Amino acid sequence: MSRPKARFSYSNLLDLLVPIVSILLGLIVGMILIAVAGKNPLGAYGAMFSGAFGSINSISEVIIKTAILTFTGLSVAFAYKVGLFNIGAEGQFIIGAITAAFLGHWIHLPGILHIPVIMVASFIMGGLWAAIAGWLKVTRGVHEVISTIMLNWIAVYLVENWLVTGPLSAVKATGSSDAGTPIIDGSAMLWRFIAYPPDQAGRIGLLVVIFLVAAIVAHYILNRSPIAKATNLILSLVVGAGVAALSSIAIFQWQYGIPGDRANIGIFFAMAAVAITFILLYRTVTGYEIRATGFNQEAARYAGINIKQRTILTMFIAGGLSGLAGMLMICGTERRFPGVFPGGYGFDGIAMALIGQNSPIGTFLASVLFGIIRGGATSMQLPPYEIHKTFADIIQGSVVLFIAANNIIRYLLMFPFKRKGEVD
């Protein structure tokens, strides 16, 4: 009886170790390349991590990158649950961004309505863009990799090469000579942690939202344990209060104002998205049907699950998550759709999902790690190291390569135990 239990525990341990070992191997590859270039790898890594946490502005950039990577990573991971590879996160990201830029400038609403309206619209537009690939998949058999790649390029040329330089340009809208679309209204801008404080009621309202989200997530996680319902409720409330208390430290510091800080409440939206995605996938009938479809379509069809409907719905939600990432970019940092759009986050989302093993929490942790690496990579460009900031892409690519070779890593991790006969 004990042998199967040990095998199950070891399998779970491998699921945890494979991404950790892959990350470590990716960092080692980076160190080797830095050494080959004649630089000090330990010093360069030290500069990278100190650059990520060396100032308020540095931490701010890490938070921004983490939030956007989380949304695009969740987009890819969510689609994978139904068995689809969403390479189109970049195009959905762009569609969500231009939607936010349009509604942020041309629609005038109070702040309490403007941001929610933009969020819903960006989600819907990104979702509809992705749903095209889902529909083509279930009705015409078009592989989602092909259709999403094509949709990426359509989005790029439609938005960046026409809308932003033509009908939606700042030149035509306001007569300004600025590149890109016009600046969005102040009511459409996400609150920044320090530079743009909301009023007292806004702070309290945000804390209430944080408390509720943290308490709900804690409740669903603890619900999997054998503890009593009353204890679960008490612990959930305690966790919610604790998270809200820690958040209040940042929220009520906004009044002091530190110029240049761009971090905003988008990180809270990202954490909420992780929680909601987790609950949707693992605590709802819809999530069960999505996962069942991805695991075995024939079995799911035999069980009465509408495969076509679940496939299109999954792609819609996945695209919506990428659309929200574009909304964060526009309403949180750029404040317009710029003439030179800082893209690539959609493709980076593929890496976040793979490194996070396509789980919501794992994707978030991967986004935090690479938010740190990308946020600090700029510091490696300075003397005495002078390493280009795109070096972070080499680390990311190396990690993804090792993740792709997970069977080899699993075998190597199991090899000592195989020799002892502890695992099959």
According to DSSP, residue 260 is labeled T
State both tokens at 53.
């946490």
Burial of 281-307, coded b for 16+ CB within 10 Å and e otherwise, reads beeeeebebbbbbbeebeebeeeebeb
Dist CA 99 CA 323 (whole Å): 9
Least confident of 6-10, 274-278, 306-310: 6-10
Dist CA 206 CA 198 (whole Å): 10
Helix (H, G, I), strand (E, B) or coil at 185: coil
Residue 57 CB neighbours (<10 A):
15
259 upstream amide cis, omega within 30 of 0: no
Alpha helices by DSSP H, 37-169: 41-53, 56-81, 89-106, 111-140, 144-155
State both tokens at 420.
């002892």
At 259 the pLDDT is: 46
Domains and CATH numbers, the chain: 1-39+387-424 (no CATH), 59-197+257-382 (1.10.3470)
At 6 the pLDDT is: 40
At 254 the pLDDT is: 44
Amino acid found at 295: F
Q: What is the pLDDT of residues 305-357, one digit of tens each?
A: 999 999 999 999 999 999 999 999 999 999 999 988 888 899 999 999 999 98
167 upstream amide cis, omega within 30 of 0: no
Q: Are 198 and 254 in contact (CB under 8 A)?
A: yes
228 or 193, which is more confident? 193
Mean pLDDT of 219-230: 64
At 149 the pLDDT is: 95
In which band, very low, low, confident or very high, does the pLDDT at 268 lie, cut at 50, 70 and 90? Answer: confident
39 or 206, which is more confident? 39
Query: For the residues of 395-417, what is the DSSP string, one character each?
Result: HHHHHHHHHHTHHHHHHHHHHHH
Q: How far from chain centre, in Å, is Cα 174?
A: 34
Classify the C-alpha dihedral 125-130-135-136 as positive or negative. Answer: positive
Dist CA 180 CA 320 (whole Å): 23
Place of tokens 């964060």: 328
In which band, very low, low, confident or very high, does the pLDDT at 420 lie, cut at 50, 70 and 90? Answer: low
Q: What is the pLDDT of residues 243-260, one digit of tens each?
A: 776 666 555 544 434 445
At 100 the pLDDT is: 97
Q: Are 109 and 117 in contact (CB under 8 A)?
A: yes
